[in-house]
Structure 1
Amino acid sequence: MFPTSINRRLVLALFALLPALPALSLAAEQPAASHRVEAEMLDGTPFSLAGRDGITLVSVWSPESLASRKCIWELQRFAAAYASRGVYTLAASVPIDRNALREFVAKRHLDLPIAILGQHDLGPLDETRLPLVYVFDRQGQLRAAHAGLYAMRVLERLVAPLLEPQ
């Protein structure tokens, strides 16, 4: 048996790694290739990952998901803080009634870009793990992913390797 102080450090180190495990497993599933992500914004205009020249963070969520509702405020804070650093943030709802989504957004005074997810090649979206976050580099390649609840610091860690040094 290890001395008690080593056991405590080992347990603390494992707890520190646990939040990163979903991101690591999702990122490992995806090859480093350009991805197809298309959505329709609430105003009816199309969104496509193709041709975007900046870093793009897409959060796949649903107003019906408790975890998604808890994270949407963190996503809005992130979008406001990182737009000036060249990060485009999109909240892409899994298919839902457009009017119900508009009502949800208006009632909560959300002002980040919100769309309904359409065609994509992100693989099956496990709605039990919503929200899902995907970070794409300037060439449209998937560089990071995270499943489940997140806070601002998780989003910051996902985009940090892609940001230019300030």
Structure 2
Amino acid sequence: MLLTSVQGIAQPSLDYEVQTREGESYSLSQYSGQVIYVDFWASWCGPCRKSFPWMNQMHHKYAAQGLKIIAINLDNDLSHARQFLSQISADFTIAYDPNTQVAGEFDILGMPTSYLFDRKGQLVATHVGFFSEHKADYESEIVHYLKQAQPLQRKYK
């Protein structure tokens, strides 16, 4: 099955820093409490070109419900990523890992490789590659984790 369960084995986490388009670093864990779809991609990756329109759709459809999509580029030369993004829009968060340090911790098996984290920051699924015929499966999985209890937001005065 394409949607791989990863319970019971050593797992990637959100405790890593990536760079913004402007070169500023931030931690992936700052989005805890949301369902996070982390996608590793490169400009030379053909299936990545197919996954971006789908990620745009998911972003527009589910961001208000707590979905955060972060696409982490692995190109050594960021000009290649910028060229890719000038041709294919990304309405979700783009981050950079030019030295592939974060990708090394995630043990990337192919391009693209995506990881789905639940609201507690637990890795719940890994997707290797992007297959148009499985888009409904990918979306169903996201919806499943979005429906799980959201963290309480308390306001004290």
TM-score by length of 2: 0.75
Larger helix fraction of residues: 1
Q: How many angstroms does 1:42 deviate by?
A: 1.3
Indicate yes or no: 2:126 matched with 1:145.
yes
1:111–1:33 CA distance, 2 compared to 1 (3 A)? closer
For structure 2, which runs of at least 5 residues remain unmatched after alignment?
Answer: 150-157
Q: CA deviation at 1:28?
A: 5.0
Q: Is 1:156 aligned to 2:139, yes or no?
A: yes
Alpha-carbon distance between aligned partners in 2 of 1:116 and 1:135, rounded to the nearest angstrom: 18
Distance 2:46 2:71 in 1: 15
Structure 1 vs Structure 2: percent identity of aligned residues? 24
Q: 1:79 to 1:96 in 2, by over 3 A?
A: farther
The 8 Å contact of residues 38 and 116 in structure 2, kept in 1 or not, is answered as yes
How many residue pairs were aligned? 143
Report the structure number with the largest CA radius of gyration: 1
1:76 Cα offset (Å) = 1.5
TM-score for both structures, normalised by structure 1: 0.72
Change beyond 3 A, Cα 1:124–1:65:
same
Out of 61, 64, 67, the residue aligned to residue 87 of structure 1 is 67
Counterpart of 1:125 in 2: which secondary structure?
A: coil
More divergent stretch after superposition (147-156 vs 72-81) = 147-156
Alpha-carbon shift at residue 64 of structure 1 (Å): 0.4
Given candidates 117, 122, 125, the residue that maps to 2:108 is 125
Residues 29, 98 of structure 1: alpha-carbon distance in 2 compared, 3 angstrom cutoff: farther
Q: Which amino acid aligns with 2:58?
A: F
Q: What SS is found at the alignment partner of 1:23?
A: coil
